[in-house]
Structure 1
């Protein structure tokens, strides 16, 4: 079945494109040239919306400066508004990894906006004598100021999503911190018994770790909101109106709802990818810490008989095709693997940023591709971890209390009263005989039972203030010995 086509021209000659396509010759050539990832721009609607937002801001600035007539400007603005709302995503088929420093992505946006604007004006697609992708849609612009600005906006949009997911995860950990506030357990250093704490403290720590990363992400987002629109080719503003940069940035802030600010040095902003490196580093930090938390969850839930079995993760699927009844910690394992990917993506961003030369970095396409993958995969993994794992965790309270009772680690609390050498001897005796530390100390007359009970109280061991009768969290006697 033949497809109706139209002929378009560029500096290389003529090329037929599908008549119904909103994209044109530049996009068609890029489709033929770039076939690596299988992930077109349309995979990330926020990127398409960001490009449309930049184009609309530029159009409105050019209109206000009298550089673009209102009839064409209104049609371009309307076309951009449609793209920003999610329409015509299928008209952005170019692979995200592309040569040309993002030129193909910019051309794709110019062509789709121009052809939709032509339709709105009552003309045929491809009738560029009336409204041209470069002469009108790209007026006063270069890929080198449009594309970096757009990808930064897209990254910020995805950072907002990840930040919300991390907030929900922190809340889940905090709920568990409250639920487990009275559950005593042994803390460990280097996988060896250390000193007691509560399971609530352990989960509260995870909440704090996640909230810290949210704060760092917010700081990183601000670095991406520096705008050098109007810098055109290398930041000098060639072919641009002197009042355009301020006006375009103002419109961009208004349209995006983000606190966009003008770059202090547009030449620097055109070539410097430091903001990408820093934000990618923050994503790596998030990944590393989430992976560490998931390592902990897998370790303390190991068992169900021969492991630590301090907590129980929700069973979400059968774990083995050969071992009946086996259940694996698949959700933490999922997050671990996403973390490994993000760490690798950070190296890609680092090398791409380093590879820039002179007044431009040609490798921003792989930077944004890597960072968008990191952001979307982290967001999904964080949502899954919170909803399908953390929310359903339960504690093996009796087993945890027994571990504290039998651990030699509690002898540390007696060291200030009995001395280090005496406590070391008592610990060795307990380990050799299986006797409880408290029983040995009382049997040898080193302390009375009341003294031992006071010094080894749950809350004192965990560094918590003493309970009062009015304390709403008074749920059990403050003794495990």
Structure 2
């Protein structure tokens, strides 16, 4: 029977021979990885940008090796064409390995080598597994080791993910700014330590939410920029063994051409090969962002609490019934789910930190779980941002009467009087208001400390929400 008519093929590695379905472009080492690492529900084909990073890495290596005379024109062209198909997502099904794996990513690297090689063989007019014409190790992986190709692919994949990530964050910021503008005239009480503080507007609250997230844009951009520095040419431990002298330079040049990004070579390849701090830095930036988003979600839940017995300063959209037993109950499910996303990102960051701390000698074998956590955190945040924006922020409506009542009944407005009537008078009024239940406004007039005209001027919205200089003196 002709080879092309067979349903399976035999491939071999160090451990021995295995039968592979001809429907699969992956080979024996991928199969062993699938069998050995039945660990999680996170697989390489769940993260197409990682696969794209692997393809771009292998394409750049092939171009460099061709320039060095290590690959024929036919071999290079076939590898490049196969890499383009892989990067475009045409063969994602052939990347089934678990993201969490032993071997410092060797299974993932070989998965890419085998898929690209077998597809390139088809392009050359051969069958998968006919490695006498093109080999996954000798040609697709030429001048490389997992220890430079794998982290480089992670960097490229995470940078591509970062470019997708930022518009989702910026859309959320824009939604908060828009909502702030809509509510800039809604006066409310600010609170510190869950106690009445001083007046502000709902617009200021939401502008504050937007501003703390804007600060993270620059932080994330700075952290992501480090992904563009890679250790290609380090091979096994950073010494460049098995690579020719000009390989690193040619590979970086090719990678710039392939990615259209400003790729740079690490200054010290030995140091870079065991250093995973770039992932630690980006994970930390996502955690910092998650902490702020969670604060916003907590505030939204508190400020919209009710409907009758909570703060109820604004209403959030009702998305689904909130109880299986309490009729009419509606829960803040969208801020709740976003908070859970934030907790997951914070937990992932701890995992990344601990795995980064596990670097030993010339390599960190824990890179796979670091990569999985970083990709997962970015994807969770992107989905969470869109959900929070569309299903919550965009539909918020202020409760103007409730906000006005809080201002009217709050003892906190006495703070606005303090610069005019003095701390002693302010304390006296605040104490009496709390003891009698009377309002601050009423007591100031009752004690004839200020005229009604002056009091109205001091307590006007425009004078309570920003620094002002008033030429008003107390009557006594």
Shared fold (TM-score greater than 0.5)? yes
Q: Shorter-chain-normalised TM-score: which range?
A: over 0.9
Aligned to 1:81: 84
Deviations 1:150-206 (A, max 9, x none): 011111222222211110000000001100010000000000000100100000011
Alignment partner of 1:276 is 2:279 = yes
Question: Aligned residues, how many?
Answer: 464
Deviations 1:77-134 (A, max 9, x none): 0000001111110000111111100001110100101110010110011100011111
Deviations 1:55-79 (A, max 9, x none): 0011111112222111110000000
**1:200 aligned residue (199, 203, 215):** 203
Of the structure 1 ranges 82-91 and 237-246, higher mean CA displacement relative to structure 2 is found in: 237-246
Aligned to 1:311: 314
Query: What's the CA shift for 1:465?
Result: 7.6
Query: What's the CA shift for 1:4?
Result: 2.7
Query: What's the CA shift for 1:381?
Result: 0.6
**1:179 aligned residue (177, 182, 187):** 182
Alignment partner of 1:149 is 2:152 = yes
2: CA distance between counterparts of 1:83 and 1:394? 47
1: CA distance between counterparts of 2:337 and 2:468? 38
2: CA distance between counterparts of 1:285 and 1:51? 28
2: CA distance between counterparts of 1:246 and 1:427? 73
Aligned to 1:117: 120
Residue pair 1:459, 1:465 contacting (<8 A) in 2 also: no
2: CA distance between counterparts of 1:464 and 1:50? 52
Alignment partner of 1:436 is 2:451 = no
Runs of 4+ in 1 over 3 A off after TM superposition: none
**2:341 aligned residue (338, 342, 356):** 338
Aligned to 2:9: 6
Alignment partner of 1:215 is 2:215 = no
Residue pair 2:232, 2:252 contacting (<8 A) in 1 also: yes
Aligned to 1:362: 365
Aligned to 2:258: 255
Q: Describe the SS at the equivalent of 1:419.
A: helix
**2:352 aligned residue (337, 349, 353):** 349
Of the structure 1 ranges 387-396 and 204-213, higher mean CA displacement relative to structure 2 is found in: 204-213
**Normalized against structure 1, the TM-score is what?**
0.95
**1:459 aligned residue (453, 458, 462):** 462
2: CA distance between counterparts of 1:97 and 1:185? 50
Q: Describe the SS at the equivalent of 2:330.
A: coil
Query: What's the CA shift for 1:464?
Result: 6.8
1: CA distance between counterparts of 2:208 and 2:253? 41
Query: What's the CA shift for 1:259?
Result: 2.1
Residue pair 1:270, 1:360 contacting (<8 A) in 2 also: yes
Query: What's the CA shift for 1:318?
Result: 0.7
Query: What's the CA shift for 1:274?
Result: 1.2
CA spacing shift, 1:393–1:279, aligned 2, 3 Å: same
Alignment partner of 1:286 is 2:289 = yes
Of the structure 1 ranges 432-441 and 96-105, higher mean CA displacement relative to structure 2 is found in: 432-441
Q: Describe the SS at the equivalent of 2:233.
A: coil
Residue pair 2:187, 2:201 contacting (<8 A) in 1 also: yes
2: CA distance between counterparts of 1:162 and 1:99? 29
Q: Describe the SS at the equivalent of 1:185.
A: strand
Q: Describe the SS at the equivalent of 2:449.
A: coil
Aligned to 2:74: 71
Of the structure 1 ranges 180-189 and 423-432, higher mean CA displacement relative to structure 2 is found in: 423-432
Residue pair 1:177, 1:204 contacting (<8 A) in 2 also: yes
Aligned to 1:242: 245
**Could you list the runs of 5+ residues in structure 2 that have no partner in the other structure?**
1-5, 470-476
Deviations 1:5-36 (A, max 9, x none): 21111111111111221111111111110101
2: CA distance between counterparts of 1:239 and 1:30? 25
2: CA distance between counterparts of 1:355 and 1:159? 25
Aligned to 1:29: 32
Q: Describe the SS at the equivalent of 2:248.
A: helix
Residue pair 1:249, 1:261 contacting (<8 A) in 2 also: yes
**Could you list the runs of 5+ residues in structure 1 that have no partner in the other structure?**
467-481
Aligned to 1:472: none
1: CA distance between counterparts of 2:112 and 2:296? 42
**Normalized against structure 2, the TM-score is what?**
0.96
1: CA distance between counterparts of 2:413 and 2:333? 34
Deviations 1:283-310 (A, max 9, x none): 1111111111100000000000000000
Deviations 1:406-437 (A, max 9, x none): 11111111111111111011011112222221
Aligned to 2:304: 301
Aligned to 2:192: 189
CA spacing shift, 1:464–1:86, aligned 2, 3 Å: farther
Aligned to 1:371: 374
Residue pair 1:110, 1:134 contacting (<8 A) in 2 also: yes
2: CA distance between counterparts of 1:465 and 1:387? 38
Alignment partner of 1:95 is 2:113 = no
2: CA distance between counterparts of 1:255 and 1:325? 57
